[in-house]
Amino acid sequence: MSRRGSDPFRDTPNSMRGVPQLRAEVLVIGGGATGAGVAWDAALRGFDVVLVERGDLAEGTSGRFHGLLHSGGRYVVKDPVAAEECVVENTILRAVIPDCIEDTGGLFVTTPDDDPAYGDRFMDGCRAAQLPAEEIEVADALRREPRLNPRIRRAFTVPDASIDAWKTVWSFARGAAAHGARILTYHRVTDLHVSDGAVSGARLRNELTGEDLDIEAGFILNASGAWAAQILHMAGIEDVGVVPGKGIMIAMNHRLVDTVINRCTMPADGDILVPIRTVSVIGTTDIRAADPDEIPVTQAEVDQMLDDGERLVPGFREARALRVWAGVRPLFQDARAGEVKDTRDVSRTHAVVDHRERDGIGGLLTMSGGKLTTLRLMAQDIVDAMCAQLGEERPCRTREERPPGNEDGDSYRLGSRLRKREKTLQDEQLICECELIGRARLEEAMRRRGGESLDDIRRSLRLGMGPCQGGFCIYRATGILHAVDRLDGEEASASLRHFLQERWKGVWPILYGDQLRQARLDDWIFQGLLDVEHV
Amino acid sequence: MSHHDVVVVGIGLAGLTAAVRLAESGARVLVLAKGVGATHLSGGTIDVLGYVPERIERPVDSIGGLPAQHPYALVGADGIAAAVGWFKERVASGSLAPYSYVGGIKENLLLPSALGVPRPSAVVPVTMAGGDLRGGGGAPVCVVGFRALKDFHAPLLADNLTRAGARARAIELDLAPEARADPNSLAFARGFDDPGFRAEVTAQVVGRLGAEERVAFPAVLGSARPHGVWAELEERFGRPVFEVPTLPPSVPGMRVFAILREALRSAGGRVILNAVVTGAEQEGGRVRALRARAGLREERHGADWVVLATGGFASGGLALDSRWTAHEPALGLPVAGVPEPGAERFRPDYFDDHPIGRAGVAVDRELRPVDQAGDRVLENVLVAGATLAGAEPWREKSGDGISLATGHRAAELVLAATSAATAGRAG
């Protein structure tokens, strides 16, 4: 299948498409939240930036998390440094990317299986971290969240929120592009060039065309998260490892709660329930994985999550599960710092690894650890470290600057999309009824992205993310893709099959109840009616 | 409590077939259904058997080779042929006559899907038969689409047909039926009922056809008088015209529903929609009455015989809970073919053979439900259609055939049993 198009910002003036040799001051590796934040920070400081991502933006860990913007409450007892960082960054992100955030508020609740005394330690920790928490009456908590387990014994309010990871990453990436950065998706780093004790660039492969591309860059910021060690191996640094901590999450088809619910206990499995957009997400597990690209979800893990959900919201198992996925935390392990046993015991704070000090290779920094809530601070720290090594004084501006898409300054509210759309809902074809995506918006996204992956369009528009999981919209979108992008039937059909396979990965382990019924209806359409299997 | 000779549960193709066949033979029939469903999803073709898993040309030759648990093994090729004959006759003399079906179980036609895949199908509306692609694709095809109809994409269809070896191209029209935003297939079908709309379509197409071309349309050529609309277009264009099924709602499926429901009504059968069967009163291995919830009311419906045709997992006739236990919600019948807890239910590849794929209610040769040991659970309950275990209807392209054949067989079995009983009493 011949695939074209890879630069989602191909209309930006700086774009140097088709040139086999690129130059930049700074090469950022990784198109997740960290990389996008780093590109935004560096571009704002006036650096000439190229960001490379082997797949689509936010396709790795960032797009596979639960959507919780931490208040810091989860870390106050176990990891006070991480807690303090969350307290500060939570406030800053609400101000700079309001559109990506819904102010749901959060509750920590003591379930019948939890030690009520932990609540006191929790409150002490909140005070120490200057986290505004308050204990409320159980009856008040139940009034606020009627589905919550009525047998909870204590409840505390915290400023948790939910955050749309895709929107966040796209927002920072678009902001970086607006300041001259070039964002190259579907470009994999295959080699790092090191000469005279410093990096000088990298070899890239365009994953869509198979072509190689060399980039010359005086500085490389490795923001590839769970894949960071693979990058470092290319520079001959073998003794840094990443312990991929696998976490599974299940999106339930409804907002079972409107407030983020945390179990008030030491961080454990299945103790967070996050309302985000039209769904709620339960997470998560923490299992040491061998390979960040091989993280299958097992039925036993699903069962465990459902039982954990039942503890927070009785009747959880009767609710409809929409999708399940796994993400890998980028938990760093330095072979010189000793063996790690439980991935949860690795600090959730981040650190910048300076490879000039550690390995004698200048111009190379790696971001280790971290979490989405502190992505801005992580970016600031690594770009500060770069400025220090370059001997330049360029102050960070990300505390004040809003990236594109956050102009009106209103945070996301459930129903805002319908409010925006409902006046014109009858004026055009509605392609995805679940997510209210009209034909014009879909065609615009297809033209702008210039790619032909329905799965990428799913991530940018939420196409096919609703209850029917693409049952009705994906044939339509295939037809439109074929028309808009002048794809031939073979390419369009391959994209359809790819979408169906990607979708299947996220649904088969949770197929029971109404979602099984939905899946069988979708089989009826794709296998029975359209006969996609034999296209 | 009402009492009927037969209560049929479900109003898809299987339930309607059983109900009409019984009512026309003089039985007092009541149909209880949660709502209309399966016919409105099906493309309107009676697919008997298309893949085993390689594509087959003659269903009749492959039926004998199916596993013993397959529903077709219970009815046999003769049973399927009898049901098909009955159905064709019923449609041809039905409320939309002369709208009719052609074909049989001896050979499959190859008709394009809306994606442009040649699909094997045995018995098809006469309005679709002109799309047959056998023998090197046949005459070139001009696919006519409507930009306003999102559930049918003519250029994609034509492109994929070309890849499959046929000669095809597409034209798209900007016409749409009036007074409805974002019209679906049904709205277009109602548009085609209007001579003015047909004239506009004809005018925009007629001068653009190549000498040899036949003309494909989305399956929206009329809802009230489909045969007349189709015949008129063939006449105006002077060449074969054929329909291709769209995404649901399916206009040809709705035609089948309309024809059979009208046949049932005129034979004296009764239908209650929005009735959810929640259980049965049993005595001595027989169901005496069904309990059904209609809105907030619970009603009891006495019956000598029950035909259960509530569909499979897609229709809610079967359910799987989060502890991975399957059940049949109406009567609580045993469900066969569900992997044990902990065992693999689905495979990671979407197009793979999934272990749970053939789950359903297992029956004996007289369509009575059986338990794991193979013993009959209820004497006067017969199961038909997608509720049955042993088939993968969408992958095999056998769903409509199974529903028709087992619905028909269920009726035949009830009629045989009642006439035997009557004869016994008379003797």
pLDDT digits (tens, 9 = 90+) for B373-385: 999 999 999 999 9
Min Cα distance A528 → chain B (Å) is 4
Residue A298 gets which letter from DSSP?
P
Residue A481 lies in a domain: yes
> Residue A5: is its pLDDT beyond 60?
no
Q: How far apart are CA A230 and CA A484, in angstroms?
A: 38
What 3-state class would DSSP assign to A6? coil
Residue of B nearest to A494 (CA): B160
Same-domain status, A199 and A326: no
Residue of A nearest to B395 (CA): A527
Question: What average pLDDT does this structure show over B318-329?
Answer: 94
Q: How many CB atoms lie within 10 A of CB A448?
A: 13
- Of A296, A331, A366, the residue that ends a domain is A331
Question: What average pLDDT does this structure show over B222-226?
Answer: 95
Q: Which domain holds residue A175?
A: 21-61+166-241+333-390
Question: What average pLDDT does this structure show over A23-34?
Answer: 97
> Residue A231: is its pLDDT beyond 70?
yes
- Read off the tokens for A390: 């370059």
Q: Is A501 on the interface with B (CB under 8 A)?
A: yes
At B425 the pLDDT is: 62
Do the chains contact at B153 and A483, CB–CB below 8 Å? yes
Q: Which of B398, B364, B388 is nearest to B309 (CA)?
A: B388
Q: Is A490 on the interface with B (CB under 8 A)?
A: yes
Residue A23 gets which letter from DSSP?
E
Q: How far apart are CA A131 and CA A71, in angstroms?
A: 7
Between strands A212-222 and A21-29, the pairing is: parallel
Do the chains contact at B113 and A493, CB–CB below 8 Å? no
ipTM: 0.96
Q: Is A484 on the interface with B (CB under 8 A)?
A: no
Same-domain status, A346 and A492: no
**Which residues have CB under 8 Å from A403's CB, separation 6+?**
A40, A96, A97, A171, A172, A174, A175, A176
Q: Which of B288, B283, B286 is nearest to B301 (CA)?
A: B288
Chain B residues with CB-CB distance to A472 below 8 A: 247
CATH code of B2-91+255-426, in short, is 3.50.50.60
Cα dihedral across residues A359, A361, A362, A363: positive or negative: negative
Q: Is A441 on the interface with B (CB under 8 A)?
A: no
Q: How far apart are CA A532 and CA A504, in angstroms?
A: 14
End-to-end C-alpha distance for chain B, whole angstroms:
31
What confidence tier does A451 reach under pLDDT thresholds 50, 70, 90? low
Min Cα distance B249 → chain A (Å) is 11
> Residue A340: is its pLDDT beyond 60?
no
Chain A residues with CB-CB distance to B160 below 8 A: 489, 493, 535
Amino acid, res. A143: R
pLDDT in tens, B118-177: 999 999 999 999 999 998 778 999 999 999 999 999 999 999 999 999 999 999 999 999
pLDDT in tens, A39-51: 999 999 999 999 9
Q: Which of B124, B322, B398 to mutate to test the interface with A (most CBs of A within 10 A)?
A: B322
Min Cα distance B151 → chain A (Å) is 6
Residue A15 lies in a domain: no
Do the chains contact at B397 and A500, CB–CB below 8 Å? no
Q: How far apart are CA A422 and CA A127, in angstroms?
A: 45
Same-domain status, A453 and A524: yes
Question: What average pLDDT does this structure show over B260-266?
Answer: 98
Q: Which of A174, A26, A101, A111 is nearest to A372 (CA)?
A: A101
Show me where the domains of chain B are located. Answer: 2-91+255-426, 129-244
**Which residues have CB under 8 Å from B207's CB, separation 6+?**
none
Residue in this structure with the two tokens 């918006």, named with its chain if needed: A441
At A41 the pLDDT is: 98
What is the pTM for the complete model shown?
Answer: 0.91
Residue of A nearest to B318 (CA): A517
How many domains would you assign to chain A?
A: 3
Residue of B nearest to A527 (CA): B394
Q: Which of A442, A530, A532 to mutate to test the interface with B (most CBs of B within 10 A)?
A: A530
Chain A residues with CB-CB distance to B313 below 8 A: 516-517, 520
> Who among A296, A493, A512 is closest to B160 (CB)?
A493
Residue A525 gets which letter from DSSP?
I
Do the chains contact at B156 and A479, CB–CB below 8 Å? yes
Question: What average pLDDT does this structure show over A115-133?
Answer: 97
> Residue A337: is its pLDDT beyond 80?
no
Do the chains contact at B148 and A493, CB–CB below 8 Å? no
What confidence tier does A240 reach under pLDDT thresholds 50, 70, 90? confident
Q: Indicate the range of A106-115, A287-296, B82-91, B396-405 predicted with least confidence.
A: A287-296
Specify whether the CB–CB gap between B168 and B161 falls below 8 A.
Answer: yes
What confidence tier does B426 reach under pLDDT thresholds 50, 70, 90? low
Specify whether the CB–CB gap between A214 and A317 falls below 8 A.
Answer: no
Q: How far apart are CA B299 and CA B365, in angstroms?
A: 32
Same-domain status, A363 and A236: yes
Residue B81 gets which letter from DSSP?
H
Min Cα distance B344 → chain A (Å) is 9
Specify whether the CB–CB gap between B49 and B398 falls below 8 A.
Answer: yes
Residue of A nearest to B120 (CA): A531
Residue A68 lies in a domain: no
The answer to whether the peptide bond before residue B341 is cis (omega within 30 degrees of 0) is no
Same-domain status, A126 and A29: no
Q: Is A442 on the interface with B (CB under 8 A)?
A: no
pLDDT in tens, A63-97: 898 999 999 999 999 999 999 999 999 999 999 99
Q: In terms of C-beta density within 10 A (0-12 exposed, 13-18 middle, 19 or more buried), how is residue A159 classed?
A: buried
- Read off the tokens for B417: 């049993």
Do the chains contact at B321 and A480, CB–CB below 8 Å? no
Min Cα distance B134 → chain A (Å) is 16
Question: What average pLDDT does this structure show over A457-472?
Answer: 87
Same-domain status, A510 and A432: yes
Chain B residues with CB-CB distance to A431 below 8 A: 150
> Who among A512, A523, A531 is closest to B117 (CB)?
A531
Residue of B nearest to A504 (CA): B350
Amino acid, res. A212: D
Q: Which of A210, A227, A216 is nearest to A193 (CA)?
A: A216
Which percentage of chain B shows pLDDT scores above 90? 92
Same-domain status, A140 and A211: no
Question: What average pLDDT does this structure show over A445-449?
Answer: 84
Residue of A nearest to B44 (CA): A529
Q: Indicate the range of A144-153, A413-422, B106-115 predicted with least confidence.
A: A413-422
Do the chains contact at A530 and B395, CB–CB below 8 Å? no
Residue A76 lies in a domain: no
Question: What average pLDDT does this structure show over B15-22?
Answer: 98
- Read off the tokens for B18: 């059983």
> Residue A447: is its pLDDT beyond 60?
yes
Count of alpha carbons within 13 Å of A381, Cβ hemisphere only? 22
Do the chains contact at A530 and B113, CB–CB below 8 Å? yes
Please report, for the domain that includes residue A319, its CATH number.
Answer: 3.30.9.10
> Who among B153, B181, B397 is closest to A482 (CB)?
B153
**Which residues have CB under 8 Å from A147's CB, separation 6+?**
A256, A257, A313, A314, A315
pLDDT in tens, A465-484: 888 889 999 999 999 999 88
Q: How far apart are CA B104 and CA B20, in angstroms?
A: 21
Helix and strand numbers, DSSP H then E, in chain B:
11, 17
What 3-state class would DSSP assign to B243? strand
Do the chains contact at B113 and A512, CB–CB below 8 Å? no
Q: Which of A250, A475, A490 to mutate to test the interface with B (most CBs of B within 10 A)?
A: A475
- What average pLDDT is seen over chain A? 90
At A13 the pLDDT is: 38
Q: How many CB atoms lie within 10 A of CB B31?
A: 27
Same-domain status, A427 and A488: yes
Chain B residues with CB-CB distance to A512 below 8 A: 320-322, 324
CA-to-CA separations, B71 to B80, B121, B366, in angstroms, rounded: 10, 18, 11
Q: How many CB atoms lie within 10 A of CB A116?
A: 11
The answer to whether the peptide bond before residue B249 is cis (omega within 30 degrees of 0) is yes
Question: What average pLDDT does this structure show over A318-346?
Answer: 73
> Who among A476, A512, A520 is closest to B151 (CB)?
A476
Q: Which of A442, A413, A417 is nearest to A430 (CA)?
A: A442
Q: Which of B318, B417, B389, B394 is nearest to B10 (CA)?
A: B318
Q: Which of A297, A522, A524, A526 to mutate to test the interface with B (most CBs of B within 10 A)?
A: A524
Do the chains contact at A472 and B247, CB–CB below 8 Å? yes
- Read off the tokens for A14: 């700086």
Q: Indicate the range of A405-414, A427-436, B52-61 predicted with least confidence.
A: A405-414
Q: How far apart are CA B363 and CA B371, in angstroms?
A: 8
CA-to-CA separations, A53 to A31, A188, A255, B73, B255, in angstroms, rounded: 5, 6, 33, 54, 52
Q: Which of A454, A481, A503, A512 to mutate to test the interface with B (most CBs of B within 10 A)?
A: A512
Which percentage of chain B shows pLDDT scores above 70? 99
Do the chains contact at B320 and A516, CB–CB below 8 Å? yes
> Who among B115, B155, B312 is closest to A531 (CB)?
B115
- Read off the tokens for B103: 């074909």
Same-domain status, A113 and A156: yes
- Read off the tokens for A531: 């006969």
Q: Indicate the range of A314-323, B178-187, B248-257 predicted with least confidence.
A: B178-187
Q: Is A424 on the interface with B (CB under 8 A)?
A: no
What 3-state class would DSSP assign to B402? helix
Do the chains contact at A529 and B113, CB–CB below 8 Å? yes
Question: What average pLDDT does this structure show over A235-254?
Answer: 89
Residue A14 lies in a domain: no
Chain B residues with CB-CB distance to A428 below 8 A: 182
A457 φ/ψ angles, rounded to the nearest 5 degrees:
-65, -35
Q: How far apart are CA A274 and CA A67, in angstroms?
A: 7
pLDDT in tens, A341-356: 455 555 668 889 999 9
Q: In terms of C-beta density within 10 A (0-12 exposed, 13-18 middle, 19 or more buried), how is residue B423 classed?
A: exposed
Specify whether the CB–CB gap between B8 and B330 falls below 8 A.
Answer: no
- Read off the tokens for B176: 């749409």
Chain A residues with CB-CB distance to B403 below 8 A: none
Specify whether the CB–CB gap between A183 and A173 falls below 8 A.
Answer: yes
Same-domain status, A354 and A371: yes
Inter-chain Cβ pairs, chain A and chain B, closer than 8 A: 141
- Read off the tokens for A144: 């606020």
Please report, for the domain that includes residue A372, its CATH number.
Answer: 3.50.50.60
Chain A residues with CB-CB distance to B319 below 8 A: 513, 516-517
At A336 the pLDDT is: 64
At A434 the pLDDT is: 87
Q: How far apart are CA B328 and CA B166, in angstroms?
A: 44
Angle at A465 between CA A283 and CA A494, to 5 degrees: 120
> What residues pair up with A24 in beta bridges, in sequence order?
A217
Specify whether the CB–CB gap between A275 and A67 falls below 8 A.
Answer: no
Chain A residues with CB-CB distance to B247 below 8 A: 472, 475-476, 525, 529
Q: Is A524 on the interface with B (CB under 8 A)?
A: yes
Specify whether the CB–CB gap between A424 and A431 falls below 8 A.
Answer: no
Min Cα distance A489 → chain B (Å) is 5
Which percentage of chain A shows pLDDT scores above 90? 71
Residue in this structure with the two tokens 């079995």, named with its chain if needed: B413
Q: Is A317 on the interface with B (CB under 8 A)?
A: yes
- Read off the tokens for B159: 């492109």
Chain B residues with CB-CB distance to A496 below 8 A: 115
Q: Is A478 on the interface with B (CB under 8 A)?
A: yes
Q: How many CB atoms lie within 10 A of CB A214?
A: 14
